[in-house]
Amino acid sequence: MGPLFPTGAIGDELNMLIGFIIGIGFGFLLEAAGFTNTRKLAGVFYGYDFVVLKVFFSAAITAAIGLFLMNHYGLIDLNEIYYPKTFWIPTLIGGFIMAFGFIIGGFCPGTSICAAVTGKIDAMIFVLGAIIGIVGYAFTYEPLWEHLRGTGKMGKVDIAHWMGISDGTFILIMTIIAAITFFAITVIQKRVTAKRDYQL
C-alpha cells in the first residue's frame, strides 16, 4: 500500500500539500512544547532539562515500531522508503559541529526557524548563520569538502543488519535502552536542579 508518494499513490502536488500540513503541525507542536526556548535544548547538555532528549528518543522509537509493524502487516513497503547512504567519518564530524551549534546557539534547525518566526532575534541570527553555512559549503565544496564527503563509505546500511541481528531485536534493545535512559535522566535532572536554581 504505502509509502504513498514513492509508489505513485499520490502525486507531487498532494505530496507537497501533505508535507506542508505536517510541517505546520510540527512547527506548532515545537512551539507549544516550548522547544523554541533556547534553554530547553541547552538543558540537555547542562543536565537540568531532558524533554528534548525524551521527545526525540521516543519519537524515533515510535516511528521505528510503527514502520516495522506496518511493514510486517503489509501496510507499507520499507524497501520504498528513502534513507541516505552512510558515510561515517563526515557524519561523525557533522554530528560534533551540530552538537556544538546546539549548545552555543540553543536551537536545532527546526526549532530555530520556529523561534525566528515567533520573533526571537537570536533565532533569526541563528537562521542567518545556517544560511551562511549552507552557501559557504556550497561554494567551497569542490576544493575543501568533496574528498571528506566520500570518506568512510558504508553504502546503504542499517544498524540491525550491520550488527547481524533482526530488526525486531534491535528495536527491542533500543526501547530497553530508552527506558533505562529515561529513568537515568530523571535522576540526573533531579540532582542538577536541586543544586542550582535554574529558571526556564
Partner 1 sequence: MKKIDVLYVGIMLVGAFWAFIVTSNSEPISRVTPCKLVDIIAQSDKYISTDELARRLMSDDPTLTLIDLRNKQEFNSYSLNGAINIPLQDLLNKQYVDIINQDVQTVIFYSNSSDLAVKAWMLTQRMGYSNNYILKGGLNRWVETILRPEEPSATATLADYEKYSFRKAASAYFGGGSVTGESVSKKPALHIKRRKKAAAGGGCD
Is residue 173 exposed (0-12), middle (13-18) or buried (19+ Cβ within 10 Å)?
Answer: middle
Closest C-alpha to 82, from 173, 27, 7: 7
Sign of the torsion formed by the C-alpha atoms of 124, 126, 132 and 137? negative
Question: Shortest approach of partner 1 to residue 187 CB, angstroms?
Answer: 9
Question: Shortest approach of partner 1 to residue 88 CB, angstroms?
Answer: 17
Residue with cell string 540532582: 191
Output the CA–CA distances (angstroms, integers) from residue 66 to 19, 46, 63, 72, 186, in the order listed.
19, 32, 5, 10, 26
- State which residue, 23 or 136, has the beta carbon closest to partner 1: 23
65: contact with partner 1 by CB under 8 A: yes
Output the CA–CA distances (angstroms, integers) from residue 77 to 15, 73, 157, in the order listed.
17, 10, 17
Query: 7-26 mask for partner 1 (x: CB under 8 A)?
Result: xx------------------
- State which residue, 143 or 181, has the beta carbon closest to partner 1: 181
Query: 152-181 mask for partner 1 (x: CB under 8 A)?
Result: --------------xxxx-xx-xxx-xx--
Question: Shortest approach of partner 1 to residue 71 CB, angstroms?
Answer: 8
Candidates 13, 32, 74, 142: give the one binding partner 1 (CB under 8 A): 74
133-169 burial by CB neighbour count: b if 16+ within 10 A, else e? eeeeeeeeeeeeeeeeeeeeeeeeeeebeeeeeebee
Size of the site for partner 1 (CB under 8 A): 38
- State which residue, 17 or 143, has the beta carbon closest to partner 1: 17
55: contact with partner 1 by CB under 8 A: no
All residues at 6 or more sequence positions from 118 whose CB lies less than 8 Å from its CB, including other chains: 31, 36
- State which residue, 22 or 143, has the beta carbon closest to partner 1: 22
Query: 78-97 mask for partner 1 (x: CB under 8 A)?
Result: --xxx-x-------------
Q: Which residues bind partner 1 (CB under 8 A)?
A: 3, 5-8, 54, 58, 61-62, 64-66, 68-69, 72-74, 80-82, 84, 108-110, 166-169, 171-172, 174-176, 178-179, 182-183, 186
